[in-house]
Amino acid sequence: MFQKWVEKALVEGKEKEIEVRKDVFWQRRCRIIGRVGLELTAKENFDEIIEKPCIFCMPEKLAKFGNEFGREMFENGYAFLFPNINPYARYSSVCAFKKHYIKPEEFKAEIIEKNLELCIEYIKKVMELDNIKYASINWNYLMPAGASILHPHTQVVADEHPTTYMEKVAEKREQFREYIKEEMKSERFIGKIGSISLFTPFVPFGFNEIVGVVSGELFSSIDEIAQALEAIISYYGSIGRNSFNVCIYASINNEFPLHFRCITRQNIAKYYRNDAMFFERLHSEVILEKKPEEVAKEIKEYLKMQ
């Protein structure tokens, strides 16, 4: 399932090594090169946008649900969920935290769980209204991760049709289970948080990637997912990263196991270098500096200290 080899290049008489990895399940490769500063670790001041209230600070101005939802928006003490005015699917909503700015290390399990609580209330509602087969809870934290607004918010996408990723894991569900088993047997297995098993993938989709496989179903697992996300995001904060993506993938009919992926993105900076270049966007290959085995070791040590 996993293959790797080293290619050598001569640069001004010096040998440079490129580790190429291939993951047979995903049919994806990645390349691991020496440390050259691909990941931005420097932090710039962005107080200017932190201090500016935004549309998510004014819930009265946001889009409202129609009568079929029985309420204009979903709300609890920490978050509110409303329709996405630019929907990505038949059901597409935004769940904003109530605070305009939250640092990565401040995302405690309790506030993440409160956000996920509204996301699942919304998913339950759309399941009543329609034949929904797939749902995802997604998170772009800060602009380098794709957020258009600084104010932290997750997004639910629910539809009868899967995304490309979901279709792959649903169609090859047996191989996907084998793939998960292989990852868990490896040195990249991090450990368990409740019923969630965490690992770093052999061929990651992005920097510092961590995958969590949940043994329960979505509606009864958000407390444990929130605990795992608190641990991962706080680890990201500890290694100086302030932008990340999270995706929780759910199949209503259990066509694939409930799981999530988290990656860091470039730190927020004015003239930043994007982490997706021609290799990532046009060759479907990720370039990394840090081996997934090192990420696993680092987060294991970090979690031990907590």
102 is a contact residue toward Zn ion (CB under 5 A):
no
At its nearest, how many Å lie between Zn ion and the CB of residue 81? 15
At its nearest, how many Å lie between Zn ion and the CB of residue 53? 5
Q: How many positions of this chain bind Zn ion (CB under 5 A)?
A: 5
114 is a contact residue toward Zn ion (CB under 5 A):
no
56 is a contact residue toward Zn ion (CB under 5 A):
yes
Closest by CA to 135, choosing from 215, 251, 295, 241, is: 251
Q: Looking at residue 130, what DSSP letter applies?
A: S
- For residue 296, give the amino acid letter: A
26 is a contact residue toward Zn ion (CB under 5 A):
no
Chain centroid to Cα 132, Å, comes to: 22
57 is a contact residue toward Zn ion (CB under 5 A):
yes
> For Zn ion, what does the binding mask look like between residues 142 and 161, x meaning CB under 5 A?
---------x----------
Q: Of the two residues 18 and 54, which places its CB atom closer to Zn ion in the complex?
A: 54
Q: Of the two residues 97 and 256, which places its CB atom closer to Zn ion in the complex?
A: 97
Q: Of the two residues 56 and 244, which places its CB atom closer to Zn ion in the complex?
A: 56
At its nearest, how many Å lie between Zn ion and the CB of residue 107? 16
Q: Of the two residues 100 and 265, which places its CB atom closer to Zn ion in the complex?
A: 100
* 3-state SS track over 90-129: CEEEEEEECCCCCCHHHCCHHHHHHHHHHHHHHHHHHHHH
At its nearest, how many Å lie between Zn ion and the CB of residue 70? 27
- 82's enclosing H/E stretch is strand 79-83
Residues that bind Zn ion in the complex, under the rule CB under 5 A: 54, 56-57, 100, 151
